[in-house]
């Protein structure tokens, strides 16, 4: 009888452990579902359709030259939404995507959105083969990072790669690889983001 009782105790112990695990798993699944269905309206909802990072983080600060030798700092753009785009002439997907990206920038000339086109070429002579000074829209600043230091600071690993910064200059979105800049998804999401105003979180 003692042996049978011990077996029964073990059986029911294992049963309740498994039952508890099942209940916990279902609870976590329901919680994740609610989080997906009801994201925070201040950030996730406004940027719905973009690949949001887990939480905003300050973008790396930098000093990079334009083609005239003028040094630019990220802080110059504080108060605006900023799209940082890393590209290079030695990157075939970059070259294919770039004309569409430039067209996208021109749709936002009168909005609080600025663009940084950061070339990773070794010289302006190389970068100008794709982006001569005459093709740079007024709301775009073209910069050169010949040492390729900034992509590592941002966490870039595949080109082209693009980041959206809020007016506090925090990274809120990252696009890996070429994107459909002519499609409605990014444009509509940006409209919602701009509607958030200078807070951006």
What is the mean pLDDT, run by run of 10 residues, along the chain of 201 residues?
54 58 46 37 43 78 96 96 97 96 94 96 96 93 96 92 95 92 91 73 52
* pLDDT value at residue 28: 39
Using DSSP, how many helices (H) and how many strands (E) does the chain show? Answer: 5, 8
Classified as helix, coil or strand, 62 is coil
Token pair, residue 71, equals: 């040094």
Distance CA 159, CA 106 (A): 22
Token pair, residue 167, equals: 């007016």
Structure pTM? 0.72
b/e code 74-111 from CB counts within 10 Å (16+ = b): beebeebbbbbbbbbbebeebbebbeebbebbeebeee
Q: What sign results for the dihedral spanned by CA atoms 26, 27, 31, 32?
A: negative
The continuous run of DSSP H or E covering 88 comes out as: none
Residue 89 contacts residue 129 (beta carbons within 8 Å) = yes
* pLDDT value at residue 102: 96
Q: Using one digit for the tens of pLDDT, what is the confidence trace for 66-94?
A: 999 999 999 999 999 999 999 999 999 99
* pLDDT value at residue 4: 52
Classified as helix, coil or strand, 5 is helix
The continuous run of DSSP H or E covering 80 comes out as: none
Residue 198 contacts residue 117 (beta carbons within 8 Å) = no
Q: How many residues does the chain have?
A: 201
Distance CA 28, CA 60 (A): 35
């Amino acid at each position: 009888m003692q042996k049978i009782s011990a077996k029964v105790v073990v059986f029911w112990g294992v049963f309740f452990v498994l039952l508890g695990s099942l209940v916990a798993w279902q609870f976590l699944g329901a919680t994740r579902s609610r989080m997906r269905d009801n994201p925070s309206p201040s950030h996730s909802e406004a940027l719905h359709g973009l690949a949001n990072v887990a939480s905003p983080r300050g973008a790396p600060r930098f000093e990079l030259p334009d083609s005239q030798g003028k040094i630019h700092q990220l802080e110059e753009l504080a108060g605006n939404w900023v799209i940082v785009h890393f590209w290079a002439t030695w990157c075939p997907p970059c070259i294919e995507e770039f004309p569409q990206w430039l067209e996208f920038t021109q749709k936002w000339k009168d909005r609080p959105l600025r663009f940084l086109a950061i070339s990773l070429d070794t010289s302006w002579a190389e970068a100008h083969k794709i982006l001569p000074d005459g093709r740079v829209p007024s709301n775009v600043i073209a910069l050169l990072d010949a040492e390729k230091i900034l992509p590592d600071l941002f966490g870039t690993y595949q080109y082209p790669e693009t980041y959206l910064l809020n007016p506090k200059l925090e990274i809120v979105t990252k696009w890996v690889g070429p994107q459909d800049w002519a499609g409605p998804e990014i444009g509509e999401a940006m409209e919602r983001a701009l509607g958030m105003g200078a807070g951006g979180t």
